């Protein structure tokens, strides 16, 4: 039971990171109908920005973390205005290729500035494991789960009660009608990229904290959030959260219990097996909008 609980908590920590990545994907897709393939690179860039503030400029961790959020929020706004906004109205394939190109540029930029090697990440969390009902867990994992919970609660309140949140929901529902009703759609698009960059930074910092390093390959962890997005529903914010947590826990449990019987790699295969089963039953995901087209 202790081993299961330990695996479950670690899976929740990974799932919290996946949820942060998935939130960024879903936010941009809901607001702009663009699937941003550069979202994993924003996670990586956020982690390196925090590393720079703490390790290079010798700032206290939380001060460096706050500054990295400001820097990444500004970067998200600039990317939306310079790279994405000119593509509005263009074919979907062209926009997808732009985001893929942006992902490669960001990955190459990180390797050029910080180098291709892993860099130790100066996390402030104690290294002594915490005992919970007989299971030993890393403090960084527990803080990741708590931070993700606070972040997700904040987003729910933001979208439900703030004027920008209501504007983003209206734009996601019908962009043209929202524009005719006086909503500044361009501002909504920019806000969605800013928020997506912020949640990616939070996920990147906590991922680097409990893995103890930052590396360009961190962006590939972002791609592992894709099953979570499909599982939860491409246009559902609660689905992104639930899907991320399910995939994180399932991967961790499968890696321990199934790999001795089926070989290595079961933790990665399990996520896609779950998605395949769910998509056969609910093609739009657990919480996605059901769209029926009649021909």
pLDDT over 50 (residue 28):
yes
pLDDT band at 178 (very low <50, low <70, confident <90, very high): confident
- 274 versus 89: the higher-pLDDT residue is 274
Q: What is the mean pLDDT of the chain?
A: 85
Query: In three state form, how does the secondary structure of 148-206 look?
Result: HHHHHHHHHHHHHHCHHHHHHHHHHHCHHHHHHCCCCHHHHHHHHHHHHHHHHHHHHHH
Q: What is the mean pLDDT of residues 67-83?
A: 93
Of 29-33, 34-38, 93-97, the one with minimum mean pLDDT is 29-33
pTM for this predicted structure: 0.89
Report the pLDDT value the prediction gives residue 295, as an integer from 0 to 100: 44
Report the pLDDT value the prediction gives residue 293, as an integer from 0 to 100: 46
Domain ranges of the chain: 9-125+136-216
pLDDT over 90 (residue 51):
yes
């Amino acid at each position: 039971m202790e081993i299961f609980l330990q695996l479950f908590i670690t899976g929740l920590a990974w799932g919290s990171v996946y949820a942060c990545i998935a939130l960024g994907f879903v936010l941009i897709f809901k607001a702009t109908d663009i699937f941003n393939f550069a979202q994993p690179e924003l996670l990586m860039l956020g982690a390196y920005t925090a590393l720079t503030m703490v390790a290079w400029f010798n700032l206290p961790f939380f001060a460096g973390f706050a500054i990295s959020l400001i820097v990444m929020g500004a970067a998200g706004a600039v990317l939306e205005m310079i790279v994405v906004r000119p593509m509005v109205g263009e074919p979907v394939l062209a926009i997808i290729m732009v985001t893929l190109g942006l992902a490669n540029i960001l990955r190459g930029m990180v390797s050029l500035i910080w180098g291709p090697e892993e860099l130790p990440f100066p996390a402030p969390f104690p290294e002594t494991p915490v005992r919970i009902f007989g299971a030993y867990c890393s403090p960084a994992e527990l803080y990741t789960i708590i931070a993700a919970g606070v972040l997700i609660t904040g987003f729910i309140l933001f979208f439900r009660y703030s004027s920008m949140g209501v504007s983003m929901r209206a734009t996601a529902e019908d962009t043209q009608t929202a524009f005719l009703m006086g909503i500044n759609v361009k501002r909504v698009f920019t806000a969605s990229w800013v928020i997506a960059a912020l949640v990616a930074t939070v996920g990147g910092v906590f991922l680097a904290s409990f893995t103890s390093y930052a590396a360009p390959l961190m962006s590939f962890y972002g791609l592992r959030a894709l099953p979570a997005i499909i599982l939860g529903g491409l246009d559902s914010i609660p689905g992104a959260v639930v899907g991320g947590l399910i995939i994180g826990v399932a991967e961790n449990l499968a890696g321990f219990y199934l790999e001795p019987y089926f070989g290595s790699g079961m933790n990665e295969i399990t996520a896609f097996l779950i998605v395949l089963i769910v998509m056969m039953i609910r093609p739009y995901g657990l919480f996605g909008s059901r769209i029926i087209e009649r021909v």
